[in-house]
Structure 1
Amino acid sequence: MDDTTRRTTIAERAARAGGELALDRFRTDIAVETKDGKTDVVTQADRDAQERVIEVVREEFPDDAIVGEEEEALKTVPEEGPAWVIDPIDGTSNFVRNVPIWATSVAAVIDGEPVAATNAMPAIDDYYVADEEETWLNGEPVSVSGREDPETCTVAPTLWWDFEQREAFATVVRAIVERFGDMRRFGCAQATLSMVADGGLDGAMSDVRPNPWDTVAGVHLVRNAGGRATDLEGERWRHDSEGLVVSNGVVHGTVLEAVRSVRQ
């Protein structure tokens, strides 16, 4: 088994293990805490799931860097060497309100570039996996949509805008509904990116600088499924880029146009 195959296997194993732990706590009477704002919530399930993910990774790759949302994990992706980017429960706001759209996300990165990723969504029994070449949903290969007409497309504003940025959020929503056939917002960035990868959505965007644990795995899924991911200038997206725009590739220009309306 080569190194990338090992990392793909461990990414899936770790995401499933963390997701199963979180699922055991889902729709139970779990205490909810807040971090930086009233809607920025965290639970002990987040912390325990992250620990479980790290345990699985460490069994095979004990010396790799860990980047993650909770506790003492690194908050930026190293530019050199191997690392793992983890979100134990992406969509905790859904999790605590008993909404089943949340994901345990694990990406393996080498020199700042993802080589393997899994988004496990155990509450709906969906598991997205990508190696260096393909993306699968529940073991079957998937690809982005082939829609060309924006008026037939569904697009999502990916990340949440804080209260002081609600004018920007309103501008993005208006830009989407003026250009595309429909809009969705799922409250889970990794789930949203996964749905672009499997063609359920045709695009997603935000002008906010995203955290790597909210995005790296999903971007890898999208690219391996034939889609495109860029920054606000249309340049290839990296973990430290400003904003994030993903699409099936065909309507990428229109998605970029919509998110740029915020800056205008």
Structure 2
Amino acid sequence: MTNAENRLESAVRAARAGSEIAAEGFREEITVETKSNKTDVVTEFDRRSQRRVIEEIRDEFPDDVIVGEEEDALREVPEEGDVWIIDPIDGTNNFVRGIPLWATSVAAVRDGETVAAANVCPALGDTYTADANGASLNGEEMTVSHRTDPETFTVCPTLWWDFDRREEYAATVEGIVKRFGDMRRFGCAQIVLGMVADGALEGVVSNIVPNPWDTVAGVFMIRQADGTVTDIHGEPWTTRSRGLVASNGEAHDEVLAAARDAEPYFDK
């Protein structure tokens, strides 16, 4: 077994372990706390799930760096070395409302490049994975949609625009509605990125700076499924990019244009 294959198995195992902890609190009476604002919520199950994921990783890779959303995990991805990026519950707002669209995400990165990723969605019964050999959903190979006509595309705005950035949010939605056949919003970045990888969506757009735990695993899956992911400027997306524009690659410029409709309202 190669090191990369070992890391995929470890990512899946850690994500499943964390998701099992999170699932204990799903649709139960739990305490919901706020962090930076009224829509930035957290629960004890976020914290417990992250601790469980970290335990699994530390058992095999005690010296690797861990980047995560909760508690005292590192927040930025180092450019060198072996790194694990984790989100114990991506889509906590869905989680606390009893909506089954949430995931436990684990990605393995080496010298700034993702080598393996797993997004486990226990309430859906779905597991998205990717490594050097490609991307899969529940063990079946994923590939992006082959649609070429933007008027048949379904595109999703993702991540979150706070109350002082609603003009950008509205402009993004308008940009999607006027260009494409339909729009969806699901409230879980990792799941919607997986949907692009699996061909359920043709595009995902945002003009803000995303967190690595919300994006790295899903971006890797899209690329391994032959899709395209750039920043707001059309350059290849990295963890230091502003904006995230993902597509099946068939009309990426049009998807990018929808994301850029928010730019006149962006406070530079």
Q: Same fold (TM over 0.5)?
A: yes
Q: Which runs of 5+ in 1 are unaligned?
A: none
Match of 2:209 in 1: 209
Match of 1:110 in 2: 110
Distance 2:158 2:115 in 1: 23
- Return the offset for 1:97: 0.3
1:15-30 equivalence runs, <5 A: 15-30=15-30
SS of match in other structure, 1:119: strand
Distance 1:120 1:247 in 2: 22
- Return the offset for 1:132: 1.6
Q: Which TM-score applies when normalising by structure 2?
A: 0.98
Work out the percentage of aligned pairs sharing the same amino acid: 61
Match of 1:261 in 2: 261
Distance 1:122 1:100 in 2: 8
- Return the offset for 1:24: 1.4
Match of 1:39 in 2: 39
Match of 1:222 in 2: 222
Match of 1:77 in 2: 77
- Return the offset for 1:133: 2.8
Task: Supply the AA of the counterpart residue of 1:39.
Answer: T
Task: Supply the AA of the counterpart residue of 1:248.
Answer: N
Q: Which TM-score applies when normalising by structure 1?
A: 0.99
Distance 1:67 1:111 in 2: 14
Residue 95, structure 1, aligned to residue 95, structure 2: yes
Match of 1:175 in 2: 175
Task: Supply the AA of the counterpart residue of 2:117.
Answer: A
- Return the offset for 1:255: 0.5
SS of match in other structure, 2:70: coil
1:103-252 equivalence runs, <5 A: 103-252=103-252
Distance 1:58 1:2 in 2: 19
1:124-156 CA distances to partner (integer Å, 9 max, x unpaired)? Answer: 100001012300100110100001000000000
Distance 2:69 2:251 in 1: 32
Q: Which runs of 5+ in 2 are unaligned?
A: none
- Return the offset for 1:112: 1.2
SS of match in other structure, 2:24: helix
Distance 1:29 1:261 in 2: 41
- Return the offset for 1:162: 0.4
Distance 1:138 1:24 in 2: 22
- Return the offset for 1:158: 1.0
Distance 2:57 2:12 in 1: 10
- Return the offset for 1:65: 0.2
Match of 1:54 in 2: 54
SS of match in other structure, 1:84: strand
Distance 2:253 2:133 in 1: 24
Task: Supply the AA of the counterpart residue of 1:48.
Answer: R
- Return the offset for 1:251: 1.5
SS of match in other structure, 1:18: helix
- Return the offset for 1:262: 1.1
Match of 1:14 in 2: 14
How many residues are treated as equivalent by the alignment? 264
Distance 1:83 1:231 in 2: 22
Task: Supply the AA of the counterpart residue of 2:236.
Answer: R
Task: Supply the AA of the counterpart residue of 2:23.
Answer: L
Distance 2:212 2:7 in 1: 18
- Return the offset for 1:2: 1.0
Q: CA RMSD in A?
A: 0.6
Task: Supply the AA of the counterpart residue of 2:180.
Answer: F
SS of match in other structure, 2:238: coil
Task: Supply the AA of the counterpart residue of 2:93.
Answer: S
SS of match in other structure, 1:176: helix
